[in-house]
Amino acid sequence: MKIIMFLTKDEERILEGESGSILARAMKLIVTIGDLKGAEKLVTINRSQVAGVSYKTSGDPTLELMESLANEGVKVKTLATQNPAGMDLERWKEMKVSPQFAIKQLRICNAYKNLGIKPICTCTPYLSGNRPKPDEIVGFSESSAVAYVNSVIGARTNRHGGLDALSCALVGKVPLMGLLLNENRRGSVYVNIEFEPNEESDYAAIGYYTGKNLKTGEIPLYTGLKNASNDSLKLLGAAAAAAGSVGLFHVLNVTPEAKNNQLVKKWKIEERLNMDKEALKNVYDELSITETPDLVCLGCPHCSLKEVRDIAEKLNGRKIKKGVNFWVYTSPTVYEEGLKLGYVDTIRSAGGDVFRHTCMVVSPLEDMGFEKLISNSAKALLLTKLCDSIEI
């Protein structure tokens, strides 16, 4: 193998197999990616987020691969967390998931756990004990988490796939390239929002519109979003990442790098994209259904505690219409806090439910009998394709 980037002696020894064949293969994958993208060297990481956990999206090949890796006794070198699985790992029967699916899903999660990856099964690890510090370099897969940690926290990660995030976690290194470098983090397009967003779903629509309209690799700098909360930006980033592979965005005077006026001036942005009320309405028209939904779901990305509280407050003293399932998805950490504070019980008293470890996209919704869903998440609507008129 001809290597272009600089490797330390220790890295070379891992590549040559001195730490075993699995680490050698992991290192080979990382170095190959780094060489293809022009990385000069590898850097050490202490955190990872590993996607490819749901049996629905990963299937038997992932199950077999993860069990074979776990049987070799290798362990990750980072604080690593698992992405959502295809079901609530404890209450899957109540979700009407089949035992055949559940058995394989539990085996996948267990194999990842044996590799040392915490089975918290959430796409918001940054709200559940795996939160990078500003400027920290990490190796995250899960596009919504990548967008959030880069943009809202100001940490640095590339958009890793499940297997390369796992390889990076096993070796404890990532190639120094892409969004880890200052020169690749500059905003490149002003995205002017010409209306005041009222709902969280407006932010999801903004992300969707941006993702659809930007060229690959462009980095939006939003103006007109000065009141955006972190939860709103979570929805925006998830939609932009799903609709257009956006891994980093900036919001003028809100997100860490765009609070630095000197830095923003240096970006010398010339391109502009405007989004007006008409464009907002068009996104809603595109993502809405005209029939009664059989599932209303919130929590893509997984709800924060504040979002669970807000849902509980809105449902307090009310009853959800019979025949409509109302499901909220969150991480086990937030679920436990919401349970203690009574929010989960309030949602259940109204006829809804709260599930952990999973979401509407990576659970087998069709097999569970659902056909039409509505959500405040453009990413969920885009990826489930259970709405009327999405063109991907």
The structure tokens 């850097």 sit at 43
Size of the site for ligand F3S (CB under 6 A): 15
159 binds ligand F3S (CB under 6 A): no
121 binds ligand F3S (CB under 6 A): no
- Tokens in use for 57? 């999206």
CB nearer to ligand F3S: pick between 123 and 295 = 123
The rounded distance, in Å, linking the Cα atoms of 235 and 279 is 18
Pick the binder of ligand F3S from 42, 359, 381, 382 (CB under 6 A).
359
CB nearer to ligand F3S: pick between 83 and 255 = 83
CB nearer to ligand F3S: pick between 209 and 329 = 329
CB nearer to ligand F3S: pick between 222 and 355 = 355
Residues in 297-326 at the binding interface with ligand F3S, rule: CB under 6 A: 300-302
* Min CB(10)–ligand F3S separation in Å: 35
Going across the sheet that includes 117-118, the strands are 117-118, 79-82, 47-50, 139-140
380 binds ligand F3S (CB under 6 A): yes
Residues in 83-112 at the binding interface with ligand F3S, rule: CB under 6 A: 83-84
160 binds ligand F3S (CB under 6 A): no
Report in angstroms the alpha-carbon separations of 160 from 33, 130, 168, 174, 266.
Answer: 10, 17, 9, 10, 28
Pick the binder of ligand F3S from 42, 123, 233, 303 (CB under 6 A).
123
* Min CB(381)–ligand F3S separation in Å: 10
* Min CB(227)–ligand F3S separation in Å: 23
CB nearer to ligand F3S: pick between 49 and 167 = 49
**Phi, psi for residue 190 in degrees, rounded to 5:** -70, 130
Report in angstroms the alpha-carbon separations of 299 from 123, 171, 181, 248, 378.
Answer: 10, 32, 31, 21, 11
The rounded distance, in Å, linking the Cα atoms of 209 and 188 is 16
CB nearer to ligand F3S: pick between 171 and 239 = 239
> Long-range contacts: 194-197, Cβ < 8 Å, 24+?
194/224, 194/274, 194/275, 194/276, 194/277, 195/224, 195/275, 195/276, 195/277, 195/280, 196/227, 197/225, 197/228, 197/232
* Local structure of residue 195 (DSSP, 8 states): S
362 binds ligand F3S (CB under 6 A): yes
The rounded distance, in Å, linking the Cα atoms of 34 and 4 is 9
Question: Which among 255, 256, 208, 204 has a CA at the least distance from the CA of 232?
Answer: 204
Pick the binder of ligand F3S from 171, 328, 361, 378 (CB under 6 A).
361
Residues in 238-267 at the binding interface with ligand F3S, rule: CB under 6 A: 238
The rounded distance, in Å, linking the Cα atoms of 138 and 340 is 32
CB nearer to ligand F3S: pick between 173 and 379 = 379
- Tokens in use for 265? 């001036």
Residues composing the chain? 392
* Min CB(3)–ligand F3S separation in Å: 35
Question: Which among 176, 175, 178, 267 has a CA at the least distance from the CA of 221?
Answer: 267
CB nearer to ligand F3S: pick between 188 and 210 = 210
228 binds ligand F3S (CB under 6 A): no
120 binds ligand F3S (CB under 6 A): no
Residues that bind ligand F3S (CB under 6 A): 83-84, 123, 144, 238, 300-302, 329, 359, 361-362, 379-380, 383
